[in-house]
């Protein structure tokens, strides 16, 4: 495998010979990052289309969890970990295959294009996927096989999601609010178990000494706990929203803008504020509070913010 990866380093090195593109590529890679999706999905959910926003949130969180599982199972390095000639124009501590940025871009942007059913949306989505993929190679954080893996996993996951979503939604509606909250908790526990299984599966396969220092946190369950908490908060929040706080994300530009700003400020305050006050050690206590932090963040975004905005007459009930 090392020989196969070494052969691909030429692509990264050749791209990095093209000067003056670092800031542009970092901009494209931002469009596939967690920080960008926090902003974009808050905007879509609270100010454009709440149904689309909620569906994309679930799609992204489930897909991210699968990505973390595959990354750990394959436990392959990143280009700059293996060869110091590749410039580290971004820093990553997780394993490389498949690329999370590319997988997320593939699922999210193609899902939105599929939903909109507009030719321009498909062109824009495919262009974004290509540019984000190229940026990951240029920045030295992914091999070409990682990018291809992101396309494959993202494409297959999206196809399965579109196939099963109608029947799953129909079954969930029969459970009632608390049944849906219970399913959300079960899904969150399953995600953590995925991480535990992946961690155990590679326990007897140590990383290569040459790049193990870069991967010191790559086997942590932290990302699984974060996604599990977020999925529970989103699932429970959506169940509660549909029960008592269904809202129209349309309206005047002023109201849309206010809803977006209030929602985003709340998410950021919870993300950084709770991180500052919640304990991080010992590890298991830290994981518990990380789960709670992400759950509260998403619960605020998808339920509590709409409920409060309805009370403030900044949104209309549906």
pLDDT tens-digit map of 209-241: 989 999 988 999 999 999 999 999 999 999 999
Percent of the chain with pLDDT over 90: 92
pLDDT of residue 20: 87
d(Cα 45, Cα 156) in Å, to the nearest integer?
25
CB 116 within 8 A of CB 67: no
Residue 63 in this model has a pLDDT that exceeds 90: yes
Answer whether residue 38 shows pLDDT above 80: yes
Res 120: pLDDT: 96
The two structure tokens encoding residue 173? 């509606």
pLDDT reported for residue 117 = 92
What is the DSSP code (8-state) at residue 207?
A: P
Q: Which helix H or strand E contains 302, and what residues bound it?
A: none
The answer to whether the beta carbons of residues 101 and 136 sit under 8 Å apart is: yes
In the predicted model, what is the mean pLDDT of residues 253-273?
96
- In the prediction, which pLDDT does 196 show? 97
> Is the model's pLDDT at 114 over the cut of 80?
yes
Closest CA to 302 of 232, 215, 233, 254: 233
pLDDT exceeds cutoff 90 at 2: no
Confidence (pTM): 0.93
Q: What is the pLDDT of residue 108?
A: 96
Question: CA separation (Å) from 282 to 28, 273, 278?
Answer: 37, 20, 12
Between 3 and 258, name the one with better pLDDT.
258
Is the distance from CB of 16 to CB of 140 less than 8 angstroms? Answer: yes
Rounded Cα–Cα distance for residues 256 and 242 (Å): 20
The average pLDDT across 44-52 equals 96
Q: Is the pLDDT of residue 143 over 80?
A: yes
Phi, psi (degrees; rounded to nearest 5) at 281: -130, 150
State pLDDT tens for residues 284-317. 999 999 999 999 999 999 999 999 999 999 999 9
280 forms bridges with which residues in the sheet? none
Residue 128: which of 104, 148, 144 has the closest Cα?
A: 104
Q: What pLDDT shows up at residue 259? A: 96
1 pLDDT band, cuts 50/70/90, is: low
pLDDT for position 6: 86
Residue 219 contacts residue 287 (beta carbons within 8 Å): no
Predicted confidence band of residue 150 (pLDDT cuts 50, 70, 90): very high
Checking if the pLDDT of 4 tops 90, the result is no
Alpha-carbon distance of 134 to 142, in angstroms, equals: 10
* Overall residue count recorded for the chain in this entry: 318
Q: What angle do CA 307, 271, 76 make, to 5 degrees?
A: 125
- What does each C-alpha distance from 210 to 75, 82, 83, 205 come to in angstroms? 14, 7, 9, 15
Please choose, from the candidates 122, 139, 129, the residue with its C-alpha nearest in 3D space to the C-alpha of residue 101: 129
Average pLDDT, the chain: 95
What are the tens digits of pLDDT across the range 80-98? 999 999 999 998 999 999 9
């Amino acid at each position: 495998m090392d020989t196969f990866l070494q052969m691909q380093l030429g692509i990264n090195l050749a791209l990095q010979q093209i000067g003056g593109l670092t800031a542009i590529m970092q901009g494209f890679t931002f469009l596939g990052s967690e920080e960008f999706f926090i902003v974009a999905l808050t905007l879509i959910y609270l100010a454009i289309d709440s149904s689309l926003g909620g569906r994309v949130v679930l799609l992204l969180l489930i897909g991210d969890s699968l990505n973390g599982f595959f990354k750990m199972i394959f436990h392959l390095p990143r280009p700059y970990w293996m060869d110091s000639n590749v410039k580290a124009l971004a820093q990553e501590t997780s394993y490389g295959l498949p690329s999370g940025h590319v997988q997320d871009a593939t699922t999210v942007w193609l899902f939105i294009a599929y939903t909109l059913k507009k030719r321009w949306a498909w062109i824009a989505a495919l262009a974004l996927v290509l540019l984000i993929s190229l940026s990951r190679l240029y920045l030295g954080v992914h091999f070409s096989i990682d990018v291809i893996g992101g396309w494959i996993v993202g494409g297959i996951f999206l196809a399965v999601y579109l196939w099963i979503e109608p029947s799953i939604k129909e079954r969930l509606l029969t459970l009632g609010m608390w049944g849906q909250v219970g399913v959300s908790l079960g899904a969150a526990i399953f995600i953590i178990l995925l991480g535990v299984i992946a961690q155990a599966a590679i326990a007897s396969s140590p990383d290569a000494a040459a790049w193990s220092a870069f991967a010191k946190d790559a086997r942590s369950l932290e990302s699984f706990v974060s996604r599990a908490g977020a999925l529970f908060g989103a699932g429970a929040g959506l169940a509660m929203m549909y029960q008592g706080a269904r809202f129209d994300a349309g309206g005047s530009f002023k109201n849309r803008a206010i809803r977006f700003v209030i929602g985003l400020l709340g998410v950021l305050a919870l993300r950084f504020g709770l991180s500052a006050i919640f304990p991080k050690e010992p590890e298991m206590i830290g994981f518990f509070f990380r789960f709670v932090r992400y759950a509260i963040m998403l619960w605020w975004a998808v339920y509590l913010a709409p409920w409060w905005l309805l009370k403030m007459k900044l949104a209309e009930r549906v």
